Every structure is written in structure tokens, then in C-alpha cells.
Amino acid sequence: MALSEREQRLLDEMERGFYQSEADVMQTAPGHRRRLNYRSLVLGIIVVLVGIGVLVGGVAAQQLWLGLIGFAVMLGGVMLMFARGSEPDAEPRLPDEPKGGAHDRAGRESLSERMERRWDERMGGER
């Protein structure tokens, strides 16, 4: 079924608005995957264990201030454990894998492009 000129303009305007809002969401999304920093993870575990030791020592000595310091050290260790690296997560590539293959194009394809491609495939390329 053919669209009228007004409907076609409205559809084009809606598509432009959708693409713009998608671009805005992608730029502001905190979803950039970060690599786990194993050094911070191990160091955080060690700090948590030291904090547990100080906390138990404070309870055994019946010293409230020592227990609070142990708790603070444990909290700092947990925060250190969950600290992420600042480098974006790059997918490892095999040495013999060619660059720019079909998988790379599909990976970079946005949601709207994938949906449009699927719609075109369903409709048999008709427009």
C-alpha cells in the first residue's frame, strides 16, 4: 500500500527523530563495557581480609573504635574490589581472523539499522 506525500513526510520526520534520540541515548549511556581490573580485585580482597582481622581484633579487645576502623577498612576494600579499569573492553581477535568481516559489520550495526534490514528482508526488498 502506497503512502501519501503527507504520510511519507511524517514517517521520514519520525525516523529522523528516532535516529537522533537513539544517538543521544548511545552517547549518554553509561554502558561502555570496561575491563575488570584484576589487580584492584586482588588488592581489594586482601584489604577486606585485613579489615576483617582488625574488626575481629577490635571485638576481642572490646575496643569500639578499633572495630569501626576495621569496618571502614573492609568497606574500602570492597570499593576497591569493584573498581573497574578505565580502558574499554576490546574483543580479543585471533591472529588469523580477517578484519572487517561480516561479523564486524553486524556488530557495529545499530538497532534501527538491524530492524530496517530485517523488515526489508521480510518484505522481499519491496518498497
Please report whether residue 96 resides in a domain. no
pTM over 0.75: no
Please report whether residue 12 resides in a domain. no
Own/partner pairs, 89-97, CB within 8 angstroms, 24+ separation: 89/33, 89/34, 89/35, 90/35
| Inter-residue contact 37 to 85 (CB < 8 Å) | yes
The total number of structural domains in the chain stands at: 1
Please report whether residue 70 resides in a domain. yes
Alpha helices in the chain (DSSP H): 5-28, 38-60, 64-81, 102-108, 111-122
Render each residue's pLDDT in the chain as its tens digit; 127 residues. Answer: 677 888 888 888 888 888 877 766 666 555 555 667 788 888 999 999 999 999 999 999 998 999 999 999 999 999 888 876 655 544 455 555 455 555 555 567 788 888 888 888 887 755 5
Residue-level pLDDT at 65: 92
Please report whether residue 89 resides in a domain. no
Please report whether residue 78 resides in a domain. yes
**What is the domain extent for residue 64?**
36-84
Please report whether residue 123 resides in a domain. no
Please report whether residue 56 resides in a domain. yes
C-alpha cell of residue 17? 527523530
Please report whether residue 100 resides in a domain. no
